[in-house]
Amino acid sequence: MLLGDLGAEIIKVENPKHGDDSRTWGPPWAYNKDLNDKSSPESAYFLAVNRNKKSITVNFKTQLGAQIIKDLIKKSDILVENYIPGKLDKLGLGYEELNKINPKLIYASITGYGQTGPYAKRAGYDVIVEAEAGLMHITGEEGGEPVKVGVAITGLYTHGAIMAALISRMRTNQGQRIDCSLIECQVASLANIGSNYLIANQEASRMGTSHISIVPYQRFKTKDSFIIIGAGNDGQFKILCNAIEERTLLQDERFKTNSNRVKNRKELIDLLQKKFIEKDTEYWLSVFSDKGIPFAPINNIKKTFEHPQVIARGMIQEVEHPKSGKIKLTGIPVKYSKEDPRIRLPPPTLGQHTHEVLSNILGYSEDKIKTLIEGHIIN
């Protein structure tokens, strides 16, 4: 989807029988605008991640279906796949085979555990790898149970890797294979928490919204809800104390430096919490406004999409979907000074573009397409 946002022509290859599994990951659904259309509605999940794509259906477990993929490869820059290592090789669609057809091809594989190593053949799912690679261990309230993080991030790493491979191809005129795994991306995303262990053998623990190395940098309960405060340095801590009229904290040796505040975390947080509980969130938001300290309310999803900055930056887009009618999608998050990425295509219906791609891109005749439909190779 990210590549499609940047202008690439994306062809999503789906199973002719039921398509991408995420089409059925509902409710919630975007119901069909035609009340006489009794086909399954599209899930909100599928619609979220499939804009700017075309959909074709191909049974590439058959020889004729695999040939369609090979014909597409001849004309393609990038292939993205997420099969267990070795699966596509058995179908004649592995990297080595397709590299012979198109040496410029960038073949991006997203797997659970990578192409090599003792776990390579295991299937990977984000919640499993979150548990296995440390993220769930550090997510959740202090003393509470491990908690799943809301969304997966591996696609972001793969997107960057593909862009780098495209730049490399400009120099070498050769494509290459990208091996991107859930577990490696997860380990890399441990960032400073991982570094604390590698450098100091310091095991991590769940800390809720707190930061292991900065205090105060967390959620506080107010009279009616919550607020997040981030005093990332001594100057910001001074601003905080002055704003809430607790200037005596600045003279307390336990809190004069961030290092001391980390050591005396509980004492400081208890004092601040007693202050914040006295007033409601709106009061504190007005107190901190334009003071030069990071702060925010904890918004639900409704308030997030009503946020004036979210609206001003075009992060809500409305498009016309062929089955669902007008639907709203999140906008494109990166803006460019000389380009205008946009949602050119709504998320596709299953096999919506099969005929178009086979006819216009591959040059298949109507008779050949008809034969493929009759043989249940395509829909």
What string of pLDDT tens digits covers the 379 residues of the chain? 999 999 999 999 999 999 999 999 999 999 999 999 999 999 999 999 999 999 999 999 999 999 999 999 999 999 999 999 999 999 999 999 999 999 999 999 999 999 999 999 999 998 999 999 999 999 999 999 999 987 777 688 999 999 999 999 999 999 999 999 999 999 999 999 999 999 999 999 999 999 999 999 999 999 999 999 999 999 999 999 999 999 999 999 999 999 999 999 999 999 999 999 999 999 999 999 999 999 999 999 999 999 999 999 999 999 999 999 999 999 999 999 999 999 999 999 999 999 999 999 999 999 999 999 999 999 9
**Going from the N-terminus, what domains does the chain have, and what CATH number goes with each?**
14-57+301-378 (no CATH), 63-207 (3.40.50.10540), 226-297 (3.30.1540.10)
Measured in degrees and rounded to the nearest 5, phi and psi for residue 289 equal: -55, 125
3-state secondary structure 168-218: HHHHHCCCCEEEEEHHHHHHHCCHHHHHHHHHHCCCCCCCCCCCCCCCCEE
Confidence (pTM): 0.91
Query: For residue 102, what pLDDT is reported?
Result: 98
Query: For residue 94, what pLDDT is reported?
Result: 98
Query: For residue 365, what pLDDT is reported?
Result: 98
Which residues are CB-neighbours of 354 under 8 A, at least 6 positions away?
A: 55, 56, 57, 58, 378, 379
Query: For residue 155, what pLDDT is reported?
Result: 80
Query: For residue 335, what pLDDT is reported?
Result: 96
What are the C-alpha distances in Å from 336 to residues 163, 307, 339? 16, 22, 5
3-state secondary structure 240-286: HHHHCCCHHHHHCHHHCCHHHHHHCHHHHHHHHHHHHCCCCHHHHHH
Active site residues: 211
Burial of 300 (0-12, 13-18, 19+ CB in 10 A): exposed
25 neighbors 68 (Cβ within 8 angstroms): no
